[in-house]
Each structure stands twice: as C-alpha cells, then as structure tokens.
Amino acid sequence: MSQENHPTLYNYHLLDRLLIEVYDPKELGNELDEIMNELVHLSNGEERLTYHHLVLRTLRDIFWKLEKLK
C-alpha cells in the first residue's frame, strides 16, 4: 500500500497525559466553552473571532465526546 493511502499518525502522549493528570475531557471541554464565552465578550463582534470561535467550538465538541478506551 502506498503512503498516500495511510492516515497521518500523531503521537498523542502529551494530550493523554493532560487528560489523565490535569483535566478529564469534559472538564477540558468546559474550559474551552468558558474561553469562547470570554472571547465573544471581549471581541465586540470582530469578524476575525468567527474563525477562532469555530476552532474552539470544534475542539470543545471533540473533548465532550471523548470516552475512555476499555
């Protein structure tokens, strides 16, 4: 199989450690939600915020949907 047919693989060790030692995924999602709210409050409706808000919302949703492997 050629390289282009393989998905890109990443080392998630640091993310795993963050989710074990500092936050659980739900807590991290909640933190991102609070950050989004603060950005909206501070932005006064600037258009550039729209993209940043989308990125944060996407990450928040990913963390909220994470489940531990059994």
Q: Look over the chain and give the mean of its residue pLDDT values, rounded to a whole number.
A: 85
The proportion of the chain whose per-residue pLDDT surpasses 70, expressed as a percent, equals 87
- Domain tally for the chain? 1
Query: Tens digit of pLDDT for each residue in 24-55?
Result: 999 999 999 999 988 888 887 666 777 888 89
CA angle 64, 66, 70 (to 5 degrees): 145
The proportion of the chain whose per-residue pLDDT surpasses 90, expressed as a percent, equals 47
Predicted TM-score of the model (pTM): 0.74
Q: Which residue has the higher pLDDT, 12 or 51?
A: 12
Domain that holds residue 49: 3-65
User: DSSP characters for 9-40?
Assistant: ----HHHHHHHHHT--HHHHHHHHHHHHHHHH
In a domain, 70, yes or no: no
In a domain, 49, yes or no: yes
